[in-house]
Structure 1
Amino acid sequence: MKIGYARVASKWYQTELQVAKLESLGCDKIWKAHNHQNLTADQEFSEFLVHIRKGDTVVATSLLAVAETKSDLLSLLNKIEIKGAYFLSIEEPWCDTTPGNAITLKSILQGVIDFELAVAELKQTSDISYTARAVGVAVGRPSKLDEEMKLEAISLLKAGKTAAEIGRLLGVSRSTISRLKRDFALDRE
């Protein structure tokens, strides 16, 4: 049996248009959720699921009618699957869990959610320069000293020259040489 699900997502999105689409697809029953009791979309859908039987197909006009996030959608698809039923979205034909499509769709959706969680975790890392370097991205301004100049500066530091003298010789500031000295831990030698 095809069971339509129509829900008012906002004041401009009325159930009449959804009902008309669902009727045109031949839905045997249509459930209208109006959020009149200040229920969340998940609570409304849970009430709806009580009426679903094994083998039924839940049809929605749009994913917006049943979920607000990708994780909500995955949760709802899992609830429908537990009931032994299927799901189909009219506006998003790729979201079809009828036999032959269910495993692929749920796997892709779970993968997208896992990817987004990994990206969010990466963004929350406190040391952004470490994170960027970990994936091969250079951070900060380019170095004023190339590798040859760094080697020359290090050898001059070891020979006892001051950072100011080496800076004048190489055309960079004293602080650039001091940072090089610190980075190579030449103070401890």
Structure 2
Amino acid sequence: MLVGYARVSTSDQNINRQIDLLAAAGVDTRNIYQEKITGTTRKRPELTRMLEELQPHDTVIIVELSRISRSTQDMLSIIEQIKTKGAFIKSLHDTWLDTTDENPMSAFLLTVMAALSQLERDQLSQRVKEGLESAKNHGKKLGCPSTANPQASAVTAMYTGGMKISEISKQTRLSRSTIYRILRSAHTTRVKD
């Protein structure tokens, strides 16, 4: 049986593209395990459930390697679990990832490509860190904008005086989220609208 696994990192991302590709590859949509969770954590309930329910001769289909794992060690561990079940794994985009045959070259390529994938992620992470450090050194402020603004004390006074968030927003023309941040940073008691 063909089994699919689809994952996106955040709830803002759309998983439909992966589901469409898996279905086009012959996976029944009822056999697609899907979740919206980062791939950097190993605690992925749907992945765990899929691995537990795998039967001998099942083939796990993924759209690309990064959907099942974000680290070389984790990916190799997952593939080993699939093999232990007597099942296989195949990637639609990373065509070298196909354990459905006993070709030793596939196992070799799997290890090499996983390492290259990890290297690419590590290099990207390093470039981001270097970019942030450079921005800091050039006086750029990093992170969310400060909620400190000339209206902060007025917002706090309005709220403690009994005004609703919606009324404060209309009067100050600040977004509700900004008002909530101001009130939280002022340590106002539980904020209610």
TM-score (norm 2): 0.51
Question: Match of 1:84?
Answer: 86
Given the superposition, is the C-alpha separation of residues 113 and 18 from structure 1 closer, same or farther in structure 2, using an over 3 Å criterion?
Answer: closer
Q: State how far apart, in whole Å, the 2-side matches of 1:100 and 1:77 are.
A: 14
**The one of 68, 71, 75 aligned to 2:70:** 68
The residue correspondences of 1:125-164 to structure 2 (distance < 5 A) are none
Unmatched segments (≥5 aa) in structure 2: 119-193
The range that moved more, 107-116 or 41-50, is: 107-116
Question: Match of 2:105?
Answer: 104
Question: Match of 1:20?
Answer: 20
Deviation sequence 1:53-111 (CA, Å, 0-9, x none): 0000000011111000122211111010001100011110111111234x333334446
Q: State how far apart, in whole Å, the 2-side matches of 1:23 and 1:30 are.
A: 9
Matched-pair contact (CA < 8 Å) for 2:82–2:88: yes
TM-score (norm 1): 0.52
Q: State how far apart, in whole Å, the 1-side matches of 2:95 and 2:107 are.
A: 14
Question: Match of 1:48?
Answer: 50
Instruction: State how many pairs are aligned.
Output: 115
Unmatched segments (≥5 aa) in structure 1: 117-189
Deviation sequence 1:122-156 (CA, Å, 0-9, x none): xxxxxxxxxxxxxxxxxxxxxxxxxxxxxxxxxxx
Q: State how far apart, in whole Å, the 2-side matches of 1:67 and 1:113 are.
A: 10
Given the superposition, is the C-alpha separation of residues 18 and 41 from structure 1 closer, same or farther in structure 2, using an over 3 Å criterion?
Answer: farther
- 2:105 partner amino acid: T
Percent identity at matched positions?
27
For the pair 1:34 / 2:36, whether they are aligned, the reply is yes
Q: State how far apart, in whole Å, the 1-side matches of 2:82 and 2:97 are.
A: 13
> SS of 1:50's equivalent?
helix
- 1:82 partner amino acid: T
- 1:35 partner amino acid: I
Q: State how far apart, in whole Å, the 2-side matches of 1:114 and 1:3 are.
A: 25
Q: Once the 2 structures are TM-superposed, how far is the Cα of residue 15 of structure 1 from its aligned partner?
A: 1.3
